[in-house]
A and B are shown apart, each in its own frame.
Chain A
Amino acid sequence: MNTKKIVVVGNGMVGHYYVEKMAALAQAFDITVIGGEPRPAYDRVHLSEVFNGKDPEDLALTTREHYKEIGVKAHFGDTVVTIDREKKTVITELGRHFPYDKLILATGSYPFVPPVPGSDAKACLTYRTIDDLGAIRAQARLGKVGVVVGGGLLGLECANALKNLGLETHVVEFAPGLMGVQLDEGGSGMLRAMIEELDVQVHTSKATQKIVPGKDHTLRMEFADGGALETDLIVFSAGIRPNDQLAKQAGLEIGERGGIVIDYHCRTSDSDIFAIGECALFGGKIFGLVAPGYRMADAALSQLTDTPQSFQGADMSTKLKLLGIDVGSIGDSHGKTLIDDKVPASFLYSNDRERVYKKIVVSPDGKKLLGAVLVGDCSDYDNLLQLYLNDMDLPENPEHIILPADDGNNAAFSGMELPLTATICSCLNVTKGDIVAAIDGGCTTVADVKSCTQASTGCGGCAALLKSTVDTELAARGVEINNHLCEHFAYSRQDLFHMIKVGRLEHFDDVLAKHGTGRGCEVCKPTVGSILASLWNDYILKPEHLPLQDTNDNFLANMQKDGTYSIVPRIPGGEITAEKLIVIGEVAKKYALYTKITGGQRIDLFGARVNQLPDIWSELVSAGFETGHAYGKALRTVKSCVGNSWCRYGVQDSVSMAIFIENRYKGIRSPHKIKSAVSGCTRECAEAQSKDFGVIATENGWNLYVCGNGGMKPRHADLFATDLDDATLIKYIDRFLMFYIRTADRLQRTSVWMNNLEGGLDYLREVVIDDKLGLAEELEAQMALLLDKYQCEWKTTIEDPERLKRFRQFVNSEKDDTHIVFVQERGQSRPAKEQEREALTTA
């Protein structure tokens, strides 16, 4: 049997989605994808984040390698120019021929540029691709003022980008209001007021007549009403038009105002050709959002399987943050739906002081929600959307659902039960039924459900709804969500932290007596030990604290497989003098220690017997070394690149900053180990994005990244804040670390912690940057206390003879542990293997 040849034209988000889904089918297809852009598919929805400092690479949805791995032939930077429907072949600009059995057109759309004289000037740009961003950035460097033509969703997104580039920003809209498609007049007015407060100037009802060279700036826009505006660049974002020329040439049916006409199966007028995404016209409509595009891809793909589905149109409700302002629109936001010739009823709540606008449009009988507009507060969006999508009955007095509740929790929604068909995650098309099935299949946490159903792994907008759905389902099954530390403490680490802090408890025995039961164990003891250290920063080997410490903390070194220890002196920022290197070398030589460079720019010395640790440390301390806390759940290292002191590309002194940060946070005990790094430029040689917190230099200061890690499940850190000065950078790190220390679970790295925070990264920003919880001062004060009480634990230890007794191998003998035997390999010691040991002892 011949494998069917599938050719996909276009590698945008929808085209890529189709290819991924197809490659995952059990049935094998011969898949070819041809993308006009020079790079594989990327996330266009988050394009503007590039101006926030995000690397364009991070927007990538796939790679050439990945396509290769899944058996997809991919060609980028070449455009299909002809479809030969007779020969069932497409031909590209470079003259390549690709025969097909089925052809998928996912050619997307292009930005509409109004035919205004002068709109072809060099400083007139569009906003759609990564290359567009480059052009906007380059042009922005040359001027001070930027104009966006178009006050719709994309236009405002683009205005945010211009603002981030430091331009005086204007939005010019032809219609009388902003976001006229999604918002009613009141909502649009509120949005305008809020945007103007952000110093973005809004000009509505403006028709641009021509664009001519300017006097003070590059260009001058002349409007129909006689007004004019000078600017250095113009970005057109006045809507999209389907890329349908290819289909048109091939004789496929095209809509009157453009768009490739498709049926319920996403078939074009040629039954072997499908069209999906923004190039397709369904029911006279273009669907300019990504989720409907995905649904088209699903439907088109299913036609090649035994279970064909149909595309029935899609809901165009949206929720987004524009210039930091929450905006939501559901269904018929304008109240134009007539039911039995009756006009729908509207309910409105508008608050100028707090800048909140909410409107619901309700069926004439008051039973069903037809639409909604939210500006300034989208917290009810998920619930409203579910009411709308599932055609659920409204409460008796519908107005209650938009009126503010006294306690902040909207009681009108409590007890609202969604049907199983309700879509929870529209990106990945996961229903409540899928989630229930996942829980029935054994998932017991949100994280489990996420990895099982993929829900909330797209845009993440449904995270809160997903969590409440999972919690409700678990509670209904009588599953108690148990985050108790262990049998001795019926509390989570976070609870315990709070109780120890509020009760000012300083000893494990007091904590156990007050809040626990039994004798404790190897789980709760180190946890409480760590909390005590995080709160009071006492010497951890005091007699009352010593029994709490895990073996590494207990002997201030890292136990290896044979019971010997490794030693890691602190080398802040990875910078070390020749003298100190020599000391390390001599100590290693004297005690025959195996030496290895670590990944954190330090030197690890292996094979020290427990009774050698004090002598070794005496030598290191007297040479000026401090403990590196490699044994502790604490700040480990702050790696750095060489920075602008030496490097041709460096823009800041990354080494000095890394040393400063490492010295600041060294020794702070935390729920898990913490790693950091500082890079001196965007080349990122210090790999700061793989750290719990990473700092990357910019020309204007520092970008802060948070919650990355390497290890078993590597995670790229998220960009948290940009272009910070030194003091703000440190302030944010103080707050971030302390908030993590306070609220994370035991042995929870920052990445997992953040994933479990309701509201994720945005919430974290609100706490750390906007001080939403009013905690910032307290977090900083707590950090200051810890910094103040820092001590080098090894220095304290070697100065106290009582403490040194702890490091005897035997309390009644000077002998060594005879089981420890080393052999030589590549000129250094290593533990003998079992056979080697036998050979050595019998010899």
Chain B
Amino acid sequence: MTSAAVSYSPFDPIAVFDRADLVENAGVCVLINDVQVAVFYMPKETPCVFALHNWDPLGKANVLYRGIVGDVNGERFVSSPLYKQHYSLDTGRCLEDETVSVPVYEAFVEDDTVTITLQSRRQK
């Protein structure tokens, strides 16, 4: 986890903060410019950090970081704390409604530092 290739444009807005600010197997929220980003930390996963927009498009509130993380048939998700829809941590897709999704962003962990950019994550 220490030598992930950091690849983002120097012009992208970023947030950099301590790994200690993350909460294991749960989410926190960071502000990048005026964009709220939910950051989930799952130490046993690769990658171990996931960044999604914090806006719950169905619940219509900035709450996604307060949801429970887990998996359905292997697909990692955060469940909305308001109405429990599942959003894929990898793609942002809503598992209950394919017309709905939330933006996902690039996230990196290096040593004790976490970096989140507003660049959309490349779909693998």
Contact = CB atoms under 8 A, between A and B. Distances in A.
Chain A partners chain B:
yes
Interface of A: 487-488, 518-522, 524-526, 543, 546-548, 550-551, 554-555, 559, 561-563, 610, 805-806, 808-813, 815, 817-819
A548 B79 CA distance: 12
Given A543-B24, A561-B61, A812-B17, A487 B81 contact: no
A551 B70 CA distance: 14
A695 to B, nearest CB: 35
Given A522-B67, A522-B68, A525-B70, A810 B30 contact: yes
Contacts of A563: 61-63, 66, 82
Interface string B24-62: 111011110010100000100000000000000001111
A819 B61 contact: yes
18 contacts: A487-B73, A518-B70, A518-B74, A521-B70, A522-B67, A543-B24, A546-B23, A547-B26, A550-B81, A559-B66, A563-B61, A563-B63, A810-B30, A810-B36, A812-B30, A815-B31, A817-B62, A819-B62
A554 B25 CA distance: 12
A532 to B, nearest CB: 15
A487 B72 contact: yes
A30 B17 CA distance: 79
A562 B63 CA distance: 9
Nearest to B68: A522
Given A519-B76, A526-B68, A550-B81, 7 more contacts: A520-B70, A521-B68, A521-B79, A525-B70, A546-B26, A551-B66, A811-B29
Given A562-B61, A811-B17, A551 B24 contact: no
Contacts of A550: 68, 81
Interface string B73-112: 1101101011010100000000000000000000000000
B118 interface: no
B36 A817 contact: yes
A519 B73 CA distance: 10
Given A487-B72, A817-B36, A806 B23 contact: yes
Given A543-B24, A559-B82, A561-B82, A813 B31 contact: yes
A561 B61 CA distance: 7
B70 A519 contact: yes
A126 to B, nearest CB: 60
A137 B69 CA distance: 62
A229 B70 CA distance: 76
A547 to B, nearest CB: 4
Contacts of B59: 561
Contacts of B16: 812
A730 B34 CA distance: 55
Contacts of B77: 521
* Residue of A563, A808, A818, A819 with most partner-chain B CB within 10 A: A563
B66 to A, nearest CB: 5
Contacts of B66: 551, 554-555, 559, 563, 610
Given A526-B68, A551-B66, A810 B29 contact: yes
Contact of B31 (A524, A554, A812): A812
* Residue of B42, B62, B76 with most partner-chain A CB within 10 A: B62
Interface of B: 15-17, 21, 23-26, 28-31, 34, 36, 42, 59-63, 66-74, 76-77, 79, 81-82, 84, 86
A818 B61 CA distance: 11
Contacts, number: 93
Nearest to A518: B71
A522 B34 contact: no
Contacts of B73: 487
Contacts of B28: 808, 811
Nearest to B59: A561
Contacts of B31: 810, 812-813, 815
A559 B83 CA distance: 11
A547 B72 contact: no
Contacts of B74: 518
Contacts of B60: 561
Nearest to B77: A521
* Residue of A518, A561, A562, A810 with most partner-chain B CB within 10 A: A810
A interface: dominant SS: loop
Contacts of A519: 42, 69-71, 76
Contacts of A562: 61
Contacts of B71: 518-521
Contact of B34 (A518, A547, A610, A818): A818
B61 A551 contact: no
Contacts of A555: 66
A525 B68 contact: yes
A177 to B, nearest CB: 64
Contacts of B25: 546-547
Contacts of A543: 23-24
A547 B68 contact: yes
B17 A547 contact: no
A256 B31 CA distance: 95
* Residue of A522, A551, A805, A817 with most partner-chain B CB within 10 A: A522
A816 B81 CA distance: 19
B29 A809 contact: yes
Contacts of B24: 543, 547
A762 to B, nearest CB: 38
Nearest to B116: A812
Nearest to B26: A547
B30 A811 contact: yes
What 8 A-B pairs have minimum CB-CB distances, sorted nearest first?
Answer: A551-B81, A547-B25, A521-B70, A563-B61, A522-B79, A811-B21, A813-B31, A519-B71
Nearest to B34: A818
A768 B76 CA distance: 44
B81 A805 contact: no
B3 to A, nearest CB: 24
A817 B60 CA distance: 13
Contacts of A812: 15-17, 21, 30-31
B63 A522 contact: no
A520 B45 CA distance: 13
* Residue of A546, A548, A563, A811 with most partner-chain B CB within 10 A: A811
Nearest to A554: B66
Given A522-B84, A563-B61, A805-B21, A551 B30 contact: no
A524 B82 CA distance: 17
Given A559-B81, A810-B29, A811-B30, A547 B69 contact: yes
* Residue of A548, A550, A551, A805 with most partner-chain B CB within 10 A: A551
A521 B72 contact: yes
A522 B17 CA distance: 28
A525 B30 CA distance: 25
Contact of A559 (B15, B42, B63, B79): B63
Contacts of A525: 68, 70
B34 to A, nearest CB: 7
B118 to A, nearest CB: 14
A528 to B, nearest CB: 12
A551 B67 contact: yes
B116 to A, nearest CB: 9
Contacts of A554: 26, 66
A518 B72 CA distance: 8
A809 B54 CA distance: 11
Contacts of A610: 66
Nearest to A550: B68
Nearest to A544: B24
Contacts of B17: 811-812
A550 B17 CA distance: 26
* Residue of B25, B28, B69, B86 with most partner-chain A CB within 10 A: B25
A547 B62 CA distance: 19
